[in-house]
Chains A and B, each alone.
Chain A
Amino acid sequence: MSIWRTELESRTPPWRGPYAPYDLIKELCIAVGAIALLAVLLTVLLSSPDDPPSTIAQWSRQLPGDFAATAAKELNGTSDTAEYGPPYNHSSGSVQHFLILHPQRWLGVSHPIDTAEDYVVKPLETIPNDPALSAALVEYKAASTTQKKEWTEAYAKPLEEYATAVEEKKTPPSTVTVNTSTGTVTVKTSGAGPVPTMMASLQSLAQSGGLEGGLVSSRQFFQTDYTKPLLFIADGGLLEERAEGQHLLGDQWGLMNETGSYPGQPWLWLYALWYQVEPIKSSPNGDIQVLLIMSLLSLLFICIPFLPVINRIPRWIPIYKLIWREHYRSQGG
C-alpha cells in the first residue's frame, strides 16, 4: 500500500520548512491586469469573427434549385431531418447505438418536427388571398397518403436529378429550369397534382423572408428556439457550401474551427481526432462512439491520482527537476 501512502496519503503534515514572503492578493491583481492587457492587445490586433448568418431568404434566392429540391424532400419525407429519428421524429436515419446502448431512442421524441407540415403546409396556410394556392392546399390535404406520395415524388425526382447533376458538375436534366436572376424554379412533370403550385408559393414566401419568421414564431409572439429553421436550412446545401470554404467540415477538423483564421475551440482537438480515424470515420454510429470514448477518457483524466501506473510516471520521468530547478539549485543538486 506504499503507493497510497506516498501518493495519496491524506494525513501528511503541513510544510515545516522555510517560507518566503508572498502577497497572494497583489499577485492576483497583477495577473488580472496582465491578462486583461493581453486580451486587449489580441483584440486590437486580431478582433473576433462575426460572419453574418445565412437566412432562408438568401438560400432560396442564391440557390433556388437547392431550395426547391430540399423543400420537395421535406414534403416527401426524405430529407435528413425527415428521416432523422429522435429527438425530432420516429424515423431511424440518424439513430445511433453502441452495443446494447440505445440512448437516442430511449430518450424519445422531445422536439417533434413533421417536415411536410412544419416546413411546407403550415407556412403556406399563412399566405392570404391566393385562390390558386388555397385550392391546391385543399386538394393536397384531402388526398390519401399514397396520392400525396405520388405527387411529391413526381415533383421531387427531377429536382433530385438536377441537384445530383449540379453536384457532379454534369449537364442538368431539361425537366428542371432554374432562373437564378429571378430565383424561379420550373419543374416539367406530369402527375404532381397541386405540388408545383404549392412549391412555387413556398419559394416566393421564402424569398420574401416570410418563411423563417413563420418557422420561428409559429406558436407564440416571442420565440428563442431556432430548431426548425436551423434544421431546415441545414438540410440544404448553403451552409455546407459556406462551411467548406471556411474549413469547417468534419474531415477538415471543423469541430474545433471557426470562421476565418481564428483559433476556434482547440481544446476539442481530441474529440475532432476520433472523427478522422477509421472505423469511427465511416461508422454510422461514429458520434456515440466518440462521445463514449471521450467520456471514458474524461473519467480517467479525473481519476489520474488513483491510477496505479499513470500516477507514478511523474516520479519516473523527472520533469519535476525542471519545474523545481530553483529549489534543486538551492539544495546544491
Chain B
Amino acid sequence: MPPGTPSGSGAPSHSPGASSKSWTVKLRERGVAALPPDKLLPDGQPTYVASWIYVFGVAAIASLIVIVGSGCILALKGPAWWHETGVGHFFNSIHLWSVELFFAAMVVHLWGKYWMAAWRGGRARVWVTGAVTFLVAIPCALTGYVSQQNFDAQWISTQAKDAMNSVGVGAFFNLTNFGQMYSYHILLLPIAVVLLVSLHVLLVRRHGVVPPFELQDKLAGATPPGQAPSGGQQ
C-alpha cells in the first residue's frame, strides 16, 4: 500500500510514512477486518438466539464484574479491613456471593453450550477459551480462600498443600505463604481470568452465536471446502 493512502480498514492513515510494514497498521487492519464495529458491538442477533440459556453467559460476565468491583474495594482497604469493620465484612460477603454466582452461571453456561455443541462452525476456540477460563477460575478462588486470614484459610491451606506438594507444584506455589497467595489472588490470576474472558467474548463476536444444528449444516453445506466466506455479519 502506498504511503498515505487509506488502509484496508477504511480509516485513512495520518502519517505519510505509514506503510504495510508498520506493525501498528497491520494490527489495526487485522483487528478491524476480524471485528468490524458492527460485529464487535452488534445491534441485532440472529432470530434463533432466543432462549433463557443465553442469560447465563452474560450472568457469568456480570458476576465477574461484581467480583472485580468488590475485590477492588477490599484491596483498597487491605486484607485486615473486612475482619475489623461491618462495612468491610459486607463487601467481603458481596465478593463471596458473586464468586458463587459466577461459578453457578459458568456451570449452567458450559452445560448449555455442550448440549448446543457450540464449537460447531469453526468455534472450537470459543469452547477452549471458556473451558480454560473455568479451570483458571478454580485456583483463583482457592487462593482467595487461603488468603482469608481466618480459620478457613488455616485449614484449607494446610490440607490442600499436600495435593500441591505431591505434584511438585508446592515448590513454587506455596498455599501456606499468605503473601504469595494474596498476590496470586488479587493480581495474577484475576488478570488471567479477565484476559481469557475478554478473548472468549471477542471470539464469540468474531464467529457469531452458533446456530441450531440443521441451520449450521445448511450453512456448512453451502460453502464448498476451501472457499473462504465473505467477512462480516449481516
A residues bordering B, Cβ < 8 Å?
A: 5-25, 27-28, 31-32, 34-36, 38-40, 42-43, 46-54, 86-87, 94, 96, 103-104, 106-108, 110-111, 224-227, 230-231, 233-234, 239, 242-243, 246, 248, 250, 254-255, 258-259, 262-263, 265-268, 271, 285, 287-288, 290-292, 298, 301-306, 311, 314-315, 317, 319-320, 323-328, 330
Residues in A whose Cβ lies below 8 Å from that of B46: 15, 17-20
> Do A230 and B176 touch (CB < 8 A)?
yes
Residues in A whose Cβ lies below 8 Å from that of B48: 17, 324, 326-327
Residues in B whose Cβ lies below 8 Å from that of A42: 93, 97, 100
A sample of 21 cross-chain residue pairs with beta-carbon separation below 8 angstroms, ordered by A number, consists of A8-B119, A11-B226, A14-B230, A14-B231, A22-B45, A31-B62, A35-B62, A36-B94, A53-B150, A110-B170, A224-B178, A225-B174, A225-B178, A227-B174, A242-B151, A255-B160, A258-B156, A262-B96, A267-B107, A287-B163, A323-B53
Question: In chain B between 134 and 190, which residues have their CB closer than 8 angstroms to a CB of chain A?
Answer: 135, 137-138, 141-142, 145, 148-160, 162-163, 165-168, 170-172, 174, 176-180, 182
Residues in A whose Cβ lies below 8 Å from that of B158: 230-231, 233-234, 239
> Do A15 and B208 touch (CB < 8 A)?
yes
The residue in chain A whose Cβ has the minimal distance to the Cβ of B105 is A35
> Do B174 and A23 touch (CB < 8 A)?
no
Residues in A whose Cβ lies below 8 Å from that of B216: 6, 12
Residues in B whose Cβ lies below 8 Å from that of A324: 48, 50-51, 116, 212
> Do A323 and B112 touch (CB < 8 A)?
yes
Interface of B, helix, strand, loop or mixed by DSSP: helix
Question: In chain B between 96 and 128, which residues have their CB closer than 8 angstroms to a CB of chain A?
Answer: 96-98, 100-101, 103, 107, 112, 114-117, 119-124, 127-128
**CA distance in complex: A108, B171 (Å):** 7
Residues in B whose Cβ lies below 8 Å from that of A303: 128
> Do B160 and A12 touch (CB < 8 A)?
no
- Verify if B8 is at the interface (C-beta below 8 Å from A): no
Residues in B whose Cβ lies below 8 Å from that of A285: 166
> Do B43 and A23 touch (CB < 8 A)?
yes
> Do B119 and A305 touch (CB < 8 A)?
yes
- Verify if B220 is at the interface (C-beta below 8 Å from A): yes
Which of B93, B208, B227 lies at the interface centre, i.e. has the most chain A CB atoms within 10 A of its CB?
B93
Residues in A whose Cβ lies below 8 Å from that of B222: 13
Given contacts A43-B97, A104-B166, contact A22 B219 (CB under 8 A): no
**Min C-beta distance of B70 to chain A, whole Å:** 8
Interface bits B175-216 vs A (CB < 8 Å: 1, else 0)? 011111010000000000000000000000000100111011
- Verify if B41 is at the interface (C-beta below 8 Å from A): yes
- Verify if B22 is at the interface (C-beta below 8 Å from A): no
> Do A16 and B234 touch (CB < 8 A)?
yes
> Do B100 and A263 touch (CB < 8 A)?
yes
> Do B97 and A39 touch (CB < 8 A)?
yes
CB < 8 Å neighbour of A326 from B50, B128, B228: B50
CB < 8 Å neighbour of A224 from B123, B182, B228: B182
B residues bordering A, Cβ < 8 Å?
A: 41-51, 53, 55, 58-59, 61-63, 65-66, 70, 82-83, 89-90, 92-94, 96-98, 100-101, 103, 107, 112, 114-117, 119-124, 127-128, 131-132, 135, 137-138, 141-142, 145, 148-160, 162-163, 165-168, 170-172, 174, 176-180, 182, 208, 211-213, 215-217, 219-220, 222-223, 225-234
> Do B135 and A302 touch (CB < 8 A)?
yes
**CA distance in complex: A34, B101 (Å):** 11
Residues in A whose Cβ lies below 8 Å from that of B163: 271, 287, 290-291
Add 12 more A-B contacts to A42-B93, A104-B166 (CB < 8 A): A13-B229, A15-B46, A16-B234, A17-B46, A25-B41, A35-B59, A36-B62, A230-B176, A234-B154, A239-B151, A287-B166, A317-B115
The residue in chain A whose Cβ has the minimal distance to the Cβ of B121 is A12
CB < 8 Å neighbour of B58 from A27, A87, A290, A306: A27
Residues in A whose Cβ lies below 8 Å from that of B135: 298, 301-302
> Do A24 and B42 touch (CB < 8 A)?
yes
**Min C-beta distance of B194 to chain A, whole Å:** 15
**CA distance in complex: A40, B86 (Å):** 14
The residue in chain A whose Cβ has the minimal distance to the Cβ of B135 is A298
Which of A48, A250, A311 lies at the interface centre, i.e. has the most chain B CB atoms within 10 A of its CB?
A48
The residue in chain B whose Cβ has the minimal distance to the Cβ of A50 is B150
**CA distance in complex: A323, B113 (Å):** 10
CB < 8 Å neighbour of B59 from A31, A54, A323: A31
CB < 8 Å neighbour of B63 from A35, A234, A263: A35
> Do B89 and A48 touch (CB < 8 A)?
yes
Residues in B whose Cβ lies below 8 Å from that of A225: 174, 176-180
**CA distance in complex: A38, B105 (Å):** 13
> Do B59 and A304 touch (CB < 8 A)?
no
Given contacts A47-B89, A224-B177, A306-B124, contact A34 B223 (CB under 8 A): no
> Do A9 and B119 touch (CB < 8 A)?
no
> Do B122 and A50 touch (CB < 8 A)?
no
Given contacts A19-B46, A230-B176, A265-B141, contact A5 B150 (CB under 8 A): no
> Do B212 and A327 touch (CB < 8 A)?
yes
The residue in chain B whose Cβ has the minimal distance to the Cβ of A330 is B47
**Min C-beta distance of A190 to chain B, whole Å:** 36
